[in-house]
Amino acid sequence: MIKLIIDGVEVEVPPEYTLLQACEQAGAEIPRFCFHERLSIAGNCRMCLVELKGSPKPVASCAWGVRDCRPGPNGEAPVVNTKTPMVRKAREGVMEFLLINHPLDCPICDQGGECDLQDQAMAYGVDSTRFQENKRAVEDKYLGALVKTSMNRCIQCTRCVRFATEVAGVAELGATGRGEDMEITSYLEQALSSELQGNVVDLCPVGALTSKPYAFAARPWELNKTESIDVMDAVGSAIRVDTRGREVMRILPRINEAVNEEWISDKTRHVVDGLRTQRLDEPYVRENGRLRPASWSEAFAAIAAKVKGTSPGRIGAIAGDLAAVEEMFALKELLARLGSKNIDARQDGAMLDPANGRASYIFNPTIAGIEEADGLMIIGANPRKEAPVLNARIRKRWRTGNLKIGLIGEKADLTYDYAYLGAGPETLATFADHAPAKLERQIWLIGQGMLARPDGAALLALAAKAAFSVGAIQDGWNGFGVLHTAASRVGALDIGFVPGAGGLTAAEMASAGKLDVVFLLGADEIDIAPGAFSVYIGTHGDRGAHRADVILPGAAYPEKSGIYVNTEGRVQMAARAAFPPGDAREDWAILRALSDVLGHKLPYDSLGMLRQVLFQAYPHLMRVDQIEAGNPADIERLAGRAGSSGAPTKAPFLSPVEDFYLTNPIARASAVMAECSALAERAAASATAAE
Amino acid sequence: MSVRRLAPDDVQPKAFAFTAENVAWANQQIAKYPEGRQASAVILLLWKAQEQAGGWLPQKAIELVAEMLGMPRIRVLEVATFYTMFNLAPVGKYYVQLCGTTPCVLRGAEDLKTVCQKRIGEQGHVTADGNFSWLEVECLGACVNAPMVQINYDFYEDLTPESLNKVLDEMAAGRVPPPGPQNGRQLSAPLGGLTSLNSPGLYDSRPSNAGAALSDADAKKPGAAANVTESPIPKPPVADASDPRQK
């Protein structure tokens, strides 16, 4: 520990601290533009100048280590001042320089109201400039569908360049030219290819990089901010939903060190316009082959008429990827009351079974635990497409060195180097009786590409056995991690939303002639064969609604409060930020009302009552933001079954996410996502043409 | 200085590849750096590419260098746009870099600019025959021979509009005039012969000679004149000072 005197306050800080960190610990506020906690230090904006006694000039505190501070002549602790006239003058000078070329277009700038430069100019600047020349003009750059540029405003902090290179892992942004002519651009203005590019908008301390879809849409002070949870992938990133009136205007990340740090994927951020289009806002009933708008009572009557004449064994329910735990619980209870065991949430046919224990289907090492790992085996997954934020965490760990990464499955650019071991089950089988690896903390990342296939159960057991034999599961470290792609999946498995004894799986329910009535709770990734009477409870006119015989309009994720359990088994609660459109209702309420019409009334009249029942049955769901740890013995049991549940086929593992931007009905309704998808496709096509 | 962009597509060659000789040279240079630090050779390779491409860097050359060094293209573009000695657009066979910094301006660089403008055209413009282009640059470190220009790798110094015209005429005719001062000076010695240190005895190294320069044995007195140095005895000016290559 090093002792410092900052503004007369004595503090002790670790020797690896920078002066800026030390000053913050002492309670001093240091303005900054280029410095960012999660990026490398650039030291080029000079806004963080402080006075260091003994130094003839002010020093840039972000780039000055406390161990480089010289002690006084008699060995006194180094003295740092952050409030002296010298520091004030230095800051005013820096601010004057920064504003020399910064346009005064705050009234038309989207960053206005949440601009670091604006705020700091108010706090640390002066109200005039001595600069008489013209301001420079910089051409705006094209960076793709999501990032809008206004390069006159750029102050060359290079945060975006460092983010793209370090965190996103695509070295596509750079600073060309020098001095006054320095410009931020991508190579020949090609669109950025990262799934995390939206974050550069948050990082930009000025209005040079702003969100293209959100351009000129709203001012920050008009928005209501609701802290919530993302459902676009199974990571469960912490988000803030900004609404104006009934409309969701934008989605921003919140800091959650355990999950997403402060990044979110582009799908999470820019799916917003998908919440407005293709929405189901009133019930529909199919008559003579055509869907016609109906009232709720008409729709319920149509369902009741159909259900009454159907034997329980021919009724089923499939839950989709975006469903919250509450509504799945209500649906499960309703089906139980109807006497059916045909429930399933695994639209993709993933061979995960809650009967194997919680450890067999959650990401046991936890996302933050990736940073402690020294080995990573990726099996049948493309984390970059399935969970970009988790992939950024892997890359962060990889950049610090000493992380061995192996991949079994599809080759892909994951933004880090890995050893490609093989394509499918045969490679995995070679690890089943493998000598323990010389690694302390391995993670075996099991993707849905390995599980969502008929031999998935055998492969899961095989993977468990392999993880055991190489030593990924030890005392105090459970490296067996299943990476999910659906936000609802772990919650569904937690509440046992899987077929009961003798019940039908999702694939069986979807096939012809098995069911007479099927309830689809936002299940759009599965095709129901003709024949069954399909009741679709959901938000968007997507596959499920096109096939449906009765449509009951539900609430999308920002329009309801709900519990989601992320891939690591973390229980998180999403908050309601807006209201569902038109006659649409929250899904649990629809199920509750429907149950009454069907003569099997569910015993809760409010979400609170529902949760009470839910928590009684599954107490761990009550512990929000916590993980109910899996028991490693579950995996050991699973490993013991390897070989007994049939031999796996030799088909190679394929990633379940073909198009990152179009994985769910909300994303498919979004024009922005469609544009991103087209851009990515074009980039991929030109890359293959160049090869 | 101005914003530097790659040349427009219509002047960009469709492909660029190093000659076998240059590939061998490049590999030699890359091998100088430790494993994982190959990017250090970027300036060397870009320079070689510029030489091979006739004095400028085509887009394909930048991409080739990026590929050879395993660098993202934008990183190579950053280097190529940062250093003004990398030309991003075609230059003439004789590429005139005219010094426009203070000493040269005081000695008449503005007149030389007019000459260039008249003979060659605007800065960065290549003459129709492809022979000439010119650019005003910052100090080239030959202030004592101001004003001066650099043409390809040679300095032409002590220029007047007439002598610059003469140099350019020669070049247009396909002859390369001898570089160096164009006014008869030897290197940077005084034009009209020595004005000081001109006593013949100075060039006589015999110790008995009166008024000799200080030798190493003599202690320098405190407060001695600044022009009293202990440099080696200078050689007398040669008869023909116009040829710098004469020793």
Q: How many CB pairs under 8 A join A and B?
A: 42
Q: Rounded CA gap, A46 and A122, in Å?
A: 17
Provide the angle, in degrees to the nearest 10, between the axes of the packed helices B73-82 and B42-52. Answer: 70
Calpha distance A298→A285 (Å, rounded): 8
User: What's the mean pLDDT in A15-37?
Assistant: 94
Of A468 and A643, more confident: A468
Q: What is the pLDDT of residue B142?
A: 94
Average the pLDDT over A298-310 and give the result: 94
Return d(Cα A95, Cα A377) in angstroms, integer: 49
Q: Which residues of B touch A179 (CB under 8 A)?
A: 1
- B193 pLDDT above the threshold of 80: no
* Residue B206: per-residue pLDDT: 60
Tell me the mean pLDDT in the region A591-597. Answer: 96
pLDDT at B194 (0 to 100): 78
Which band of pLDDT confidence, cut at 50, 70 and 90, is reported for residue B219? low
* Start-to-end C-alpha separation, chain B: 39
- Tell the residue number behind the tokens 């995390």, with chain if given: A196
Asked if B12 reaches chain A (Cβ–Cβ under 8 Å), the answer is no
Give the pLDDT band (50/70/90) at residue A648.
confident
How many angstroms from the chain centroid is the CA of residue A22? 32
The torsion region of residue A509 among left (phi > 0), alpha (psi -120 to 50) and beta comes to alpha
**CB < 8 Å to A186, chain B:** 74
Closest A-chain CA to B6: A188
User: Which residues are A79's β-sheet partners?
Assistant: A5
The reply to whether residue A173 touches residue B75, judged by beta carbons under 8 angstroms, is no
- How far does B75 lie from chain A, in Å, by closest CA? 7
Give counts: helices (H), strands (E), chain A. 21, 28
- Percentage of residues in chain A with pLDDT exceeding 70? 100
DSSP state of A110: T
Inter-chain CB proximity B74 and A178 less than 8 Å: no
B6 to chain A: which residues are within 8 Å by CB?
A: 188
- Average pLDDT of the segment spanning A188-198: 93
Q: Residue B233 above 80 pLDDT?
A: no
Closest among A488, A492, A485, A497 to A445, alpha carbons compared: A485
User: pLDDT class for B195, splitting at 50, 70, 90?
Assistant: confident
What pLDDT is recorded for position B239? Answer: 55
Whether A289 has a pLDDT exceeding 80, the answer reads yes
Q: Could you tell me if B15 lies within 8 Å of chain A, comparing CB atoms?
A: no
Mean pLDDT of chain A: 93
Instruction: Provide the b/e sequence for A306-324 (b: ≥16 CB within 10 Å).
Output: bbeebebbbbbbbbbbbbb
Residue A474 is inside which H or E element, if any?
strand A473-474
CA angle A617/A620/A621 to nearest 5° reads 80
- For A186, which residue in chain B has the nearest alpha carbon? B74
Least Cα separation, residue B40 to chain A (angstroms): 17
Nearest to A177 among B72, B75, B82 (CB): B82
Average pLDDT over residues B26-30: 95
Contact B72 A181 (CB under 8 A): no
> Per-residue pLDDT for B242 more than 70?
no
Q: Give me the phi and psi of A228, to 5 degrees please.
A: -145, -165
Residues of chain B contacting A417 with CB distance shorter than 8 Å: none
Rounded to the nearest angstrom, the minimum Cα separation between B103 and chain A is: 24
pLDDT at B175 over 70: yes
| pLDDT confidence of residue B246 | 45
Q: In chain A, helix, strand, coil percent, each to 5?
A: 35, 20, 45
Lowest mean pLDDT, pick from A151-155, B145-149, B201-205 = B201-205
Does A246 score more than 70 pLDDT?
yes
B81 with A176: Cβ contact below 8 A: yes
| Peptide bond just before B147 cis, omega within 30 deg | yes
Whether residue B223 has pLDDT greater than 60: no
In a mutagenesis test of the B interface, which of A176, A184, A192, A399 is the best target, namely the one with the most B β-carbons within 10 Å? A176
3 state SS of B121: coil
CB within 8 Å: A175 and B75: no
Cβ–Cβ below 8 Å for B78 and A172: no
Mean pLDDT of B175-203: 84
- Please, are residues A356 and A639 in contact by the beta-carbon 8 Å criterion? no
Closest partner CB to B2 (pick from A139, A171, A181): A181
Contact (Cβ atoms closer than 8 angstroms) between residue A171 and residue A165: yes
The stretches of A618-670 forming alpha helices (DSSP H) are: 632-640, 665-669
Q: Which residues, in sequence order, are CB contacts of A616 under 8 Å at separation 6+?
A: none
- Distance (Å) from the C-alpha of residue B69 to the closest C-alpha of chain A? 14
Least confident range of A40-44, A353-357, A514-518, B185-189 = B185-189
Lowest mean pLDDT among A682-686, B64-68, B230-234: B230-234
Order of strands, sheet of A238-244, starting from the edge strand that comes earlier in the sequence: A224-229, A238-244, A247-253
pTM reported for the whole predicted model? 0.90
Which of chain B's residues have a Cβ under 8 Å away from the Cβ of A138? 3
| Bridge partners for A407 per DSSP | A378, A420
CA-based nearest residue in chain B for residue A165:
B72
Q: Does B166 touch chain A (CB under 8 A)?
A: no
Determine whether the interchain pair B1/A178 forms a contact, defined as Cβ–Cβ distance below 8 Å. Answer: yes
Exposure letters A190-225 (e unless 16+ CB within 10 A, then b): bbbbbbbbbbbbbbbbbbbbbbbbbeebbebeebee
**Quick check: B74 and A179 CB within 8 A?**
no
More confident residue, B222 or A248: A248
Q: Which residues in chain A are closer than 8 Å to B73, comparing Cβ atoms?
A: 187
CA distance A137 to chain B (A): 10
All residues at 6 or more sequence positions from A358 whose CB lies less than 8 Å from its CB, including other chains: A494, A569, A628, A630, A631, A634
Helices (H), A101-234: 116-124, 159-162, 199-203
Identify the pLDDT of residue B222.
57
- A178/B82 Cβ within 8 A: yes
- Answer yes or no: are the C-beta atoms of A340 and A371 closer than 8 Å: no
Residue in B closest to A138 by C-alpha: B3
Amino acid at B189: A
- pLDDT tens sequence across A98-107: 999 999 999 9
* pLDDT value, residue B247: 42
DSSP state of A200: H
pLDDT digits (tens, 9 = 90+) for A122-142: 999 998 889 999 999 999 999
CB contact under 8 A, A187 and B2: no
Q: Which residues of A touch B4 (CB under 8 A)?
A: 176-177, 181
Q: In this structure, are residues B26 and B19 in contact, taking their beta carbons and an 8 Å threshold?
A: no
Cβ separation B75–A171 shorter than 8 A = yes
Taking only the tens place, the pLDDT of each residue in A351-410 is 999 999 999 999 999 999 999 999 999 999 999 999 999 999 999 999 999 999 999 999
Q: pLDDT tens digits, residue range A515-543?
A: 999 999 999 999 999 989 999 999 999 99
Strands A79-81 and A49-52: antiparallel
Chain B residues in contact with A171 by the CB 8 A cut-off are: 72, 74-75
For the segment B202-227, the average pLDDT, to the nearest whole number, is: 56
A537 within 8 A of A587, measured Cβ to Cβ? yes
Residue A653 DSSP one-character state:
P
Q: For residue A244, give the 3-state DSSP assignment.
A: strand
How crowded is residue A354: how many other Cβ atoms within 10 Å of its Cβ?
A: 16
ipTM of the complex: 0.89
State the pLDDT at residue B217: 52
> If DSSP states are collapsed to H, E and C, what string results for B74-110?
HHHHHHHHHCCCCCCCCCCCEEEEEECCHHHHHCCHH
- Asked whether residue A323 carries a pLDDT value surpassing 90, the answer given is yes
Q: Report the alpha-carbon distance of residue A91 to residue A126 in Å, rounded.
A: 9
What is the DSSP-derived secondary structure letter of residue A627? B
The residue assigned the tokens 């699973």 is A638
Domains of chain B: 9-82 (1.10.10.1590), 94-181 (3.40.30.10)
- Please give the pLDDT value at position B185: 87
Q: What is the pLDDT of residue B192?
A: 81
Question: Stretch B104-127: mean pLDDT, rounded?
Answer: 94
pLDDT tens for A550-586 read 999 999 999 999 999 999 999 999 999 999 999 999 9
Cβ neighbors of A41 (< 8 A, separation 6 or more) are A18, A35, A62, A63
Measured in angstroms, the CA of B217 and the nearest CA of chain A are apart by 43
- Of A310, A285, A281, give the one whose Cα is nearest residue A535: A285
